[in-house]
Amino acid sequence: MHRDDIPALLVSLGITGLLGWGLVYFVTEWWGRLPKAVALILFILLAVMVIGYPIYALARWSDRYLARVQEARAQGKKAPD
């Protein structure tokens, strides 16, 4: 992990924590009041968001890491850890 990745990691963890807290609050306070069809659609959208966001963040991180490795190889340096 590169030093530049630490702020991005902390922001990602913070966003993930806030999303998790918001989801728990929403389900405990508002879910029972929703019609069944709306609840099903929201469930599918929330599942895509909760599963997809970390995958997307990891893909972006890996693209940046790969770019650093390729740049280091092009300059003849050792690949960053």
Please tell me the pTM assigned to this model. 0.50
Q: What does the pLDDT look like over 1-24, one tens digit per residue? A: 788 889 989 999 999 999 889 989
The mean pLDDT of the chain is: 89
- In the numeric block, the tokens 């069809």 are attached to 37
For Cα atoms 22, 9, 2, give the angle at the middle one, nearest 5 degrees. Answer: 175
Please choose, from the candidates 8, 3, 2, 4, the residue with its C-alpha nearest in 3D space to the C-alpha of residue 56: 8
The structure tokens listed for 68 are: 């650093």
Please state, for a pLDDT cut of 90, what percent of the chain lies above it.
54
pLDDT value of position 12: 92
pLDDT reading at 81 higher than 70: no
Residue 79 above 80 pLDDT?
A: no
Kindly give, in sequence order, each residue whose CB lies less than 8 Å from that of residue 39, ignoring residues fewer than 6 positions away: 31
**In the chain, pLDDT over 70 holds for what percent of residues?**
95
CA distance 49 to 54: 9
